[in-house]
Amino acid sequence: MPAHPSRLKRLCTHLCTTHAHVRALFPDAELDRIEHAIQAGEHGHQGELRVVIEGSLPLAQVWGRVSPRERAEHIFRELDIWDTEANSGVLLYLNIADHAVEIVADRGFAARVPATTWDELCAILTSGFTRQQQTAALHQVIHALHALANRHFPVDPARGGNSNELPDRPLIR
């Protein structure tokens, strides 16, 4: 029996979304700006933000119908974003081929921030990609995530500030 047409279409989309396409959307200078925005914001709180930009999924995962959410949750675990001291890790995941944005928050954030807030931030990014203003939207969401972290995970002066447990440089996969 032939594969479902939507599966084939998704497979072709992932095959055609190259690393070069991702790098055109996010050149080194933009990655530097994102890294700086993460570093600067994390000085004010104990939260840990990790941005992962993935052009396409491994083809076996596309064929297996792995959703962007499932992929984001896998990356959240793989990169140990769940394992921060304050349970304050947040993954901001962009999947270029699927035009998908996911935010996965550690249990400390999940207990304090309603799911609707994460949905609103994802909608901002999705809208930015639709308007081809992805970098402005990404910076807006990073700023909003820092505001949430400032509110829920302020710096503890006795600990000496943010220990920067996760890399600040966006990861391109």
pLDDT in tens, 141-160: 999 999 999 999 998 777 76
pLDDT value at position 4? 56
**pLDDT-flagged residues of the chain (< 70):** 1-5, 160-161
| C-beta separation of 167 from 50 below 8 A | yes
Q: Please tell me the predicted confidence (pLDDT) of residue 106.
A: 96
| pLDDT for the residue numbered 3 | 52
- pTM (predicted TM-score): 0.92
pLDDT (0 to 100) of residue 44: 87
CATH code for position 111: 3.10.310.50
Give pLDDT, residue 1: 42
Domain tally, the chain: 1
Identify the domain containing residue 99 by its residue range. 5-154+162-172
157, 146, 17: which is closest to 90 by C-alpha? Answer: 146
